[in-house]
């Protein structure tokens, strides 16, 4: 049943052992300054049998921190810390990409040295709170980025890619999903600009395109992935013209020859219900490179998506938390461990709920 999901596959010039990816997940185990340590290296090495390991969302600047314990990719200590992870994954026979991001409005001044969060427009993230050093706080009204500031945002992503390359990551994934900065620029709900970066579908895509251009000056395009979330409501997202916007983005991204397009087609993070959900088949019609599905897949639905030709890879999130040997369990038809206790998902610098799960072999 699982022969297609477990088959080797190619993304760019990389040969992957199977079509299963470890989805990038927030786990908040970095040091206070964002430096990854030995515990993170052990976590990723445990899961290195995935065809592709995608390390968690990593801030590209001190202003791009969204929660305590998240890792960074903007200073020398981060480089040294991440090298521990890449060395451990490679020693275990795995391939690993780093997901680079900027949260935009989805942060708080208490997390970014008192600075006001930035966004395409001064529109607050509603009906949610975030954890800060002073406890849970409502999100703040962000400051709209000036035109002269946008090149620095692009430069942040390029520097993050440069650090990833120096740390021996096999590639990077550009996070343009889940209501973070690049997604905020893409979507009409959060982008009310009237300049060259807003107004039309083409203009809202512009920042993502310029970030991809900059990052592909560091890595070849076939070592760069991009993540999109067309159906998501997470972080107060969802735009009436979502289908037109994300179809256009995929069409434009296709020209780069990317390693893959990572589409969160599942509805496990919530669905904005502004129309029918976009499917992998829709993206397959406009994107010719490898497609990765994500969000709520089981081994059975993942196998169906791959065997029916809708996806080339499937990323698993929550099942990988408590099953570091997920590939081996799927291959052997071995039942999965129970889902991990959610209270341990984000416990800073502790092995509990992170690296202490049993394996079947």
Query: What gap in Å lies between CA 357 and CA 281, rounded to an integer?
Result: 36
Q: What is residue 299's three-state secondary structure?
A: helix
Indicate if the pLDDT at residue 45 is higher than 50: yes
| CATH class of the domain whose range is 9-344 | alpha beta
| Least confidently predicted of 135-149, 270-284, 319-333 | 270-284
Residue 54's DSSP bridge partners are 97
Q: Where are the alpha helices (DSSP H) in 71-149?
A: 76-91
Catalytic residues: 180
Instruction: Classify burial at 188, counting beta carbons within 10 Å of its beta carbon; exposed 0-12, middle 13-18, buried 19 or more.
Output: middle
Per-residue pLDDT averaged across 3-18, rounded?
94
Q: Angle CA(154)–CA(157)–CA(163) in degrees, nearest 5?
A: 140
Q: Give residue 349's pLDDT band: very low, low, confident or very high (50, 70, 90).
A: confident
What is the arithmetic mean of pLDDT over 328-332? 96
- Those residues whose C-beta lies under 8 Å from the C-beta of residue 301, and which sit 6 or more positions away, are none
Does the pTM surpass 0.95? The reply is yes
pLDDT surpassing 70 at residue 2: no
Please report which confidence band the pLDDT of residue 3 belongs to, taking 50, 70 and 90 as the band edges: low
CA distance 150 to 191: 14
Dist CA 72 CA 77 (whole Å): 9
**pLDDT tens track for 68-116:** 999 999 999 999 999 999 999 999 999 999 999 999 999 999 999 999 9
Which residues have CB under 8 Å from 299's CB, separation 6+? 2, 5, 330
Residue 120 CB contacts under 8 Å (≥ 6 apart), including other chains: 104, 144, 145, 184, 185, 190, 191, 192, 193, 197, 198, 207
């Amino acid at each position: 049943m699982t022969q297609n999901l477990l088959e080797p596959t190619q993304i760019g010039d990389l040969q992957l052992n199977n079509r299963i990816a470890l989805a990038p997940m927030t786990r908040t185990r970095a040091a206070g300054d964002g430096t990854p340590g030995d515990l993170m290296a052990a976590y990723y090495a445990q899961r290195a049998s995935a065809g592709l390991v995608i390390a968690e969302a990593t801030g590209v600047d001190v202003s791009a921190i969204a929660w305590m314990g998240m890792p960074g990719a903007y200073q020398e200590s981060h480089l040294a810390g991440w090298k521990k992870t890449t060395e451990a994954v490679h020693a275990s026979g795995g391939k690993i990409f780093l997901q680079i991001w900027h949260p935009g409005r989805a942060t708080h001044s208490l997390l970014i040295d008192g600075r006001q969060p930035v966004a395409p427009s001064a529109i607050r993230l509603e009906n949610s709170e975030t954890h800060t050093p002073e406890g849970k706080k409502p999100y703040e009204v962000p400051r709209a980025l000036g035109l002269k500031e946008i090149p620095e945002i692009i430069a942040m992503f390029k520097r993050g890619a440069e650090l990833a390359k120096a740390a021996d990551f096999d590639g990077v994934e550009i996070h343009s999903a889940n209501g973070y900065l690049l997604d905020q620029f893409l979507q009409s709900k959060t982008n009310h600009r009237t300049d060259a970066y807003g107004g039309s579908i083409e203009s809202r895509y512009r920042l993502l395109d310029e970030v991809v251009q900059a990052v592909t000056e560091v890595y070849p395009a076939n070592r760069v992935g991009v993540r999109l979330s067309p159906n998501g409501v997470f972080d107060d997202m969802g735009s009436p013209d979502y289908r037109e916007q994300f179809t256009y983005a995929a069409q434009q991204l296709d020209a780069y020859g990317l390693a893959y397009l990572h589409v969160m087609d599942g509805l496990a993070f919530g669905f904005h219900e502004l129309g029918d959900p976009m499917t992998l088949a829709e993206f397959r019609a406009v994107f010719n490179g490898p497609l990765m599905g994500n969000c709520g897949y089981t081994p059975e639905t993942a196998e169906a998506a791959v065997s029916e030709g809708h996806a080339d890879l499937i990323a698993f999130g929550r099942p990988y938390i408590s099953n570091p040997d997920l590939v081996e369990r799927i291959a052997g038809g071995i039942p999965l461990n129970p889902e991990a206790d959610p209270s341990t998902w984000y416990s800073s610098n502790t092995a509990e709920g992170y690296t202490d799960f049993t394996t079947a072999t």
